[in-house]
Homo-oligomer: A and B are copies of this chain.
Amino acid sequence: MPEGNDAKKKLEGLGQDIVSDIRAGKNPTFVTLARKRSNIIFDQKTGYLKLGRAKEERDFVNVAQSKRFMQTVAIAAKCHKFVKENLHTTIRGLFYQLKYSLGEDVDENIFNEQAESNPLIEDLEVALSLTREQLNLNANRKGVLAGNLKIIDTFGNERIQIDCSKQGRSGWAIPSDVDNDIEFVDLKAKYAIVVEKDALWQRLNEDGFWKKENAILITPQGQAARGTRRLIRKLADMGLPIYVFTDSDAWGWYIYWTIKTGSINLAHIGENVATPEARFIGVTMSDLDRYDFLNKLTMNASDVDLKRAQEMLRYDWIKKSREWVTELERMIKLKKKLEQDALQGPRLTFVDDYIKEKIRNKEYLP
């Protein structure tokens, strides 16, 4: 997977195929996997969302498709340029380049809205088995890491070493692309813990949790961005158990399941961003039995929380898990939720002990 960048070669191959087709008097086409809902599959065996086998052909000599075909070729040409220049931008930057350069020769604006160009970028990713990052298109980034791990970031003609154990209160900001021109070395940790909220990450970082536990401490700062999801996958590939710690509510579960199973939007790169091995350590409704004080610190579950819990109970992979069914049913019954922050109730450092105990006792949900 996306180590190294063969994007240039693949993009040139696409161009050559089109030229050959035209020269041979054939109708140029290219084939991509369908990304409609019906072709997005939860793979029971591997445990993540991926694309099925349904294909779609983009056909130049087809009135309904020729604009789309031409737009895709324009995107491919721009990305080829970015890769050759060794410069990165975003899908917004790409959109403006397309608007700019096509506007020069053609009267009509070929792209009016970014919503038009985004799906075509995915077409290209899928057709050529490339990721957006290999096309030099950065995604939004978010997320921070601390722990015994070094980063070798080859960036701007420099080879920079960043020691993630020497980032103080800040942590290392996880970039959009954690595959190309970047290496992870000297990993010395027993596990990685992913903490939903930055506030709790800061709490744990201040306590030196990752030092004492020899862990990699990550926060996605809410829903995990693409780069953070990919990084978690890579840490799992490097042999680390992955534990996830979120609020016990709809949003927290969503964050967990996205890390674990991937998402519909990224089903075309499911394998690269999903971490089915991840385990959920809390906060759980069953913590109410073990930690009596939490009963005073519940919050009212919102309608969204309750609706989401009910939806989750209908999922096949949830139905198989007695623990998750118990969790969700309990929330629905109590109409209460629990926040990570509540673990600071008795003392600020309580959250450290909570996580340690959960991991030591292997008390986590699948």
| Chain A interface residues (CB < 8 Å from chain B) | 82, 85, 87-90, 92-93, 95-97, 99-101, 103, 109, 138, 140-141, 144, 151, 153, 155-156, 158, 160, 162, 166-177, 182, 198-199, 202-203, 205-208, 211, 293, 296-297, 339, 341-342, 344-346, 348-349
Contact = CB atoms under 8 A, between A and B. Distances in A.
B155 A168 contact: yes
A151 to B, nearest CB: 7
A273 to B, nearest CB: 19
B153 A170 contact: yes
Given A93-B344, A166-B162, A171-B173, A202 B88 contact: yes
A162 B170 contact: yes
Contacts of A211: 156
Nearest to A162: B168
A92 B199 contact: yes
24 contacts: A87-B207, A87-B349, A88-B203, A89-B199, A89-B348, A92-B199, A92-B341, A93-B344, A96-B345, A99-B345, A100-B296, A101-B345, A109-B296, A138-B202, A140-B198, A144-B173, A153-B170, A155-B206, A156-B205, A168-B175, A169-B182, A170-B173, A170-B174, A172-B173
Contact of A96 (B87, B169, B341): B341
Contacts of A138: 199, 202
Contacts of A175: 168-170
Given A156-B211, A160-B168, A172-B173, 19 more contacts: A87-B206, A89-B348, A92-B199, A93-B344, A95-B341, A97-B344, A97-B345, A97-B348, A144-B173, A151-B168, A155-B169, A156-B205, A160-B166, A160-B167, A168-B175, A169-B182, A170-B173, A171-B173, A173-B173
A351 to B, nearest CB: 9
Nearest to A91: B199
Nearest to A92: B341
A101 B173 CA distance: 36
Copies of chain A in the complex: 2
A206 B176 CA distance: 13
A155 to B, nearest CB: 4
A-B interface, 4 closest residue pairs, ranked by CB to CB distance from nearest: A153-B168, A100-B345, A170-B173, A93-B344
Contacts of A144: 173
A172 B169 CA distance: 11
Contacts of A96: 297, 339, 341-342, 344-345
A46 B262 CA distance: 51
A45 to B, nearest CB: 36
Nearest to A95: B341
Contact of A293 (B100, B345, B346, B348): B100
Given A168-B155, A198-B141, A202-B138, A341 B90 contact: yes
